[in-house]
Structure 1
Amino acid sequence: MVLLTITTTHRPATDLGYLLVKHPGRLQSFEVSGGTAHVFYPEAGEDRCTAALLLDADPAAARGAKGPGKGPDTFTLRQHVNDRPYAASSLLAVALGRVLRTALRGDSRDRPELAATPIPLELRIPALRCKGDAATFFEPLGWTVEAAPIPLDAAHPEWGPSRYVDLTLRGTMRLADTLNHVYVLLPVLDDAKHYWVSSDEVEKLIRAGTGWLAEHPAKGVIARRYLAHRTSLTNEALSRLSDVEPDADSVIERAPRPESLAALRRAAVVRQLAEAGASRVLDLGCGPGALLGELIRDRRFTEIVGADVSTVSLEMAARRLRLDRLPDRQRARIRLLQTALTYRDDRLRGYDAAVLMEVVEHVDPPRLPALAAGVFGHAAPRTVVVTTPNVEYNVRYPGLEHGRMRHHDHRFEWDRAQFGAWCDDVAARYGYTVTRHGIGEEDLEVGTSTQMAVFKK
């Protein structure tokens, strides 16, 4: 169940029913893609009126499963096993767009003047998954925001808060603007959608963001999250939100888009490998193969090994590299190995260089000595390149809540002093020299987003 309530004290408050095009005296139910949506009024008086949208979510329906009597798969696991995430906030946003479509457009046949008038409103969502600070997104729009963290277990306050908040918004707004704010920002706060994001979502974002999104200080974060971090769609949306419109008589010189941090990181690693004169290279913890793609395009690297503990990641890397389609000569340059880096593996010995790119922070701290022994002690390549996040830089990410790490699987994130101490200890223990570098734009106070160490024998 997901609940959204809308309250007004505008007199007569029951005019809220005209704006929503939903009668205060009736319970109405609607079948939507995520289940069944119900609209009802817990209170409806002259001084105060509250409308509630309650979504009885059905994950199987949200994933496109067949309902009873609609096909032979009704009772199979197909309804419950799917690669689409269950995102309650996204389900609620879709229900809102379906059930309150007329109000979202700002249309009201019976109260057109009121539909165009800001009125006092209070919105509440008692349980909302929230990544970051909700005020970052709503306060610039004029809302007063209360986001009370919900504890993991009320009986055990020492366990701390969950990722859910009890969200209340108060302000004086046109109802249509209010609903469009919520329609866009619900999945942004959750940073997830329950359906595949395509180019159609750009149109939805532009339409719902008309009049407010282009000037929002966090529009980049909003577009990126709303569009599921798809770079091409995000760039298209931000371009269309720009106030600058080219015409036939002028040519606008656009500033080149900055490279992503991931691209800068890969370029920095490849540059270090080239400077070391490495030709036989290990990509340890290669994941789905982003760095492997860069290495195989560079003919200086004659033998490339991608190693990861996850067979799923290795399968993704093979697909990404199109190993089954590579010419024989190219295919002979690369191998994929399943192995755990915290154990010694003779197959990793004898290489010129090894890369641990964004890997160490995924290892439990008590296992780091075993990883160092396996890589620096047993495999012992002449050069090792290590990159890891700089936790000091996290304060520069507006959507990252204080104390949260950049990825849910990170076991820790080091500041520059901690990383330096680890590097010095490993270098002394295994007979390497080490130099440290930054990757990304440098901030005078907190350094760069990524820190890199280059170990050499």
Structure 2
Amino acid sequence: MLLTISCTRPEGAAWAATDLGFLLHKNPSRMQSFDQSYGVAQVFYPEADEERCTAALLLEIDPVRLVRGKSRNTPEFSLGQYVNDRPYAASSLLAVAISTVFGSALHGRCAQRPELAETAIPLRIELPAVPCKGGPEYAERVFAPLGWTVTATPLPLDPAFPDWGDSHYVRLELTGTLRLADALSHLYVLLPVLDGSKHYWLDATEIDKLLRMGESWLPGHPERAWITQRYLARRHSLVQVALARLAELDDAEPEELGAVDDSVDDTAESDTATTEPEAGKPPSLAVLRRAAVVGALRAVGASRVLDLGCGPGALLRELVTDRAFSEIVGVDVSVMSLRIAQRRLRRLPVWQAERVTLRQGALTYTDASLQGYDAAVLMEVIEHVDANRLGALEQSVFGSAAPGAVIVTTPNSEYNALYEGMTPGVFRHHDHRFEWSRAEFADWAHRVGERFGYAVRFEPVGPEDAERGASTQMAVFTKHKGITTEQNDSDEKGAA
């Protein structure tokens, strides 16, 4: 089982291609061996000069060690334990070797070249044999959205008998300009996904591994549901938890990330069936919510917009595609969420990304730099704030920043009874501090509007019931003409 990683120095670069050795923490001048529980991993450099450097990871599998400790009751106990493709095909065995042998590089750590560890460099990755039961197009579907140019060449079942056709293995070549840490994280997650199996027992810790290794790219990947399903070996309970956590990162509903059917056989045909969207399937609540917010911003004529509590950038992605918004500022208290949003912005065209600024900050503290904007958005934010801190958020947003308009969305608690399996009194999200009825939301909105000089109107968002209203409720605040930030500040001081 062989993996090669090649780096070519761009013209004029201040670093040498052999600095790949620093990033991998492996000296190009000598071969190194690392014992694994199932064999030996060796690292060596077939070529190493200032212009081009190639590191090779050769994994030699001992089939006896691989099955040692398994009982006779395991489903795969047979001659197949000893005669199989594990010594030759890239799989979870290679993914584990990457994490143990190249662990520092996988996590982006390099004391000698820290700036290079954060730099996207020209890379070429080659794998002679990768299991890919869905065909070469599946390799394209999972790697191409991450910035790779993918060449997946089918391998014949037997070169001596061409009439037998191709096997389900491909020779995989990936070229692109990426951070080495990102490249390794792609391999760590996606090689077991293409293979469709793992050599060890899965439990809840696999979810943490998946989200930790894929935090910068998996939430926004178009095949995230299929990737999650395959990485977790179709364990229904694990898949559902992982999709829910991905939805939190992407400000989406779990169903938006894709329905998962753990009863489907592991074949190319069934994989295709589970990844195709259902014809006529309505958009998810998260999609409808973002569309409603964008529509409200356009209706108030906003050009310079604050996305307060932006999270990993779901709404930012919608706003940057619309030239009506000339300046967009995303603010969030979570550094991790902002890091994910920043990495997403790097993949956008320059004319889009240059209009977005990200800032770390708590919405319960005033920030003079947020004053003077046309509109601010609090999309699914207020319900995450403790009730005794809402007054501070109101003063920070409506009083200090005082944009021309404020759009607020929040769950409608009355609608919760219509969600199957939802227990009365339980919130939609574990981090919600409260969920309001329509009357409670209206009372709060009218009070805030009167206090800070805003008119307010309400719009339903998402599925709507005649008695219980819509799933999401949205308030659009527009400032009364003649009310200024200075007047708001003066009124607050007088009230104090």
TM-score by length of structure 2 reads: 0.48
Aligned equivalents of 2:190 and 2:139: distance in 1? 9
Establish whether residue 35 from structure 1 lines up as the match of residue 34 from structure 2.
no
The aligned residue for residue 66 of structure 2 is 62
- The Cα of 1:155 is off from its aligned counterpart by 2.2
Is the contact between residue 86 and residue 194 of structure 1 (CA under 8 Å) also seen in structure 2?
no
Structure-to-structure mapping, 1:126-145, within 5 angstroms: 126-132=128-134, 133-145=138-150
Q: Which runs of 4+ in 1 moved over 6 A?
A: 78-81, 83-86, 252-260
- The Cα of 1:85 is off from its aligned counterpart by 8.4
The aligned residue for residue 12 of structure 2 is none
The aligned residue for residue 243 of structure 2 is 238
Q: Which runs of 5+ in 1 are unaligned?
A: 67-77, 247-251, 266-357, 359-388, 400-439, 445-457
Residues 83 and 253 of structure 1, relative CA distance in 2, 3 Å threshold: same
Structure-to-structure mapping, 1:297-308, within 5 angstroms: none
Residue identity matched to 1:98: T
Secondary structure, in 3 states, of the residue corresponding to 2:106? helix
Establish whether residue 90 from structure 1 lines up as the match of residue 95 from structure 2.
no
The aligned residue for residue 5 of structure 1 is 4
The aligned residue for residue 105 of structure 1 is 107
Residues 27 and 394 of structure 1, relative CA distance in 2, 3 Å threshold: closer
Establish whether residue 221 from structure 1 lines up as the match of residue 226 from structure 2.
yes
Residues 396 and 27 of structure 1, relative CA distance in 2, 3 Å threshold: same
Structure-to-structure mapping, 1:152-191, within 5 angstroms: 152-191=157-196
Aligned equivalents of 1:255 and 1:24: distance in 2? 47
Structure-to-structure mapping, 1:428-447, within 5 angstroms: none
- The Cα of 1:150 is off from its aligned counterpart by 0.5
Residue identity matched to 2:195: D
Aligned equivalents of 1:253 and 1:398: distance in 2? 17
Aligned equivalents of 1:125 and 1:219: distance in 2? 23
Residue identity matched to 2:105: A
Aligned equivalents of 1:49 and 1:257: distance in 2? 39
Q: Which runs of 5+ in 2 are unaligned?
A: 10-14, 71-76, 282-496
Aligned equivalents of 2:253 and 2:20: distance in 1? 48
Residues 86 and 204 of structure 1, relative CA distance in 2, 3 Å threshold: farther
Aligned residue-pair number: 264
Aligned equivalents of 2:205 and 2:120: distance in 1? 30
CA-to-aligned-CA distance 1:407-443 (integer Å, 9 cap, x gap) = xxxxxxxxxxxxxxxxxxxxxxxxxxxxxxxxx9667
Larger RCO: 1 or 2 (CA < 8 Å, sep 6+): 1
Structure-to-structure mapping, 1:276-425, within 5 angstroms: 396-398=273-275
The aligned residue for residue 147 of structure 1 is 152
Is the contact between residue 123 and residue 178 of structure 2 (CA under 8 Å) also seen in structure 1?
yes
TM-score by length of structure 1 reads: 0.52
Secondary structure, in 3 states, of the residue corresponding to 1:242? helix
Residue identity matched to 1:3: L
Aligned equivalents of 1:122 and 1:193: distance in 2? 26
Is the contact between residue 207 and residue 242 of structure 2 (CA under 8 Å) also seen in structure 1?
yes
Aligned equivalents of 1:184 and 1:170: distance in 2? 18
Residue identity matched to 2:206: E
Residues 14 and 253 of structure 1, relative CA distance in 2, 3 Å threshold: closer
The aligned residue for residue 117 of structure 1 is 119
Q: How large is the RMSD of aligned CA atoms in angstroms?
A: 3.7
Identity of aligned residues (%): 50
Is the contact between residue 152 and residue 160 of structure 1 (CA under 8 Å) also seen in structure 2?
yes
CA-to-aligned-CA distance 1:220-264 (integer Å, 9 cap, x gap) = 111111101001111111111124699xxxxx998799986688x
Residues 253 and 214 of structure 1, relative CA distance in 2, 3 Å threshold: closer
Is the contact between residue 225 and residue 258 of structure 2 (CA under 8 Å) also seen in structure 1?
no
Is the contact between residue 260 and residue 274 of structure 2 (CA under 8 Å) also seen in structure 1?
no
Residue identity matched to 2:21: G
The aligned residue for residue 73 of structure 1 is none
Aligned equivalents of 1:81 and 1:395: distance in 2? 27
The aligned residue for residue 416 of structure 1 is none
Aligned equivalents of 2:256 and 2:122: distance in 1? 44
- The Cα of 1:175 is off from its aligned counterpart by 0.2
Is the contact between residue 106 and residue 115 of structure 1 (CA under 8 Å) also seen in structure 2?
yes
Secondary structure, in 3 states, of the residue corresponding to 1:241? helix
The aligned residue for residue 53 of structure 2 is 49
Is the contact between residue 225 and residue 260 of structure 2 (CA under 8 Å) also seen in structure 1?
no
Residues 179 and 262 of structure 1, relative CA distance in 2, 3 Å threshold: closer
- Which range moved further: 254-263 or 111-120? 254-263
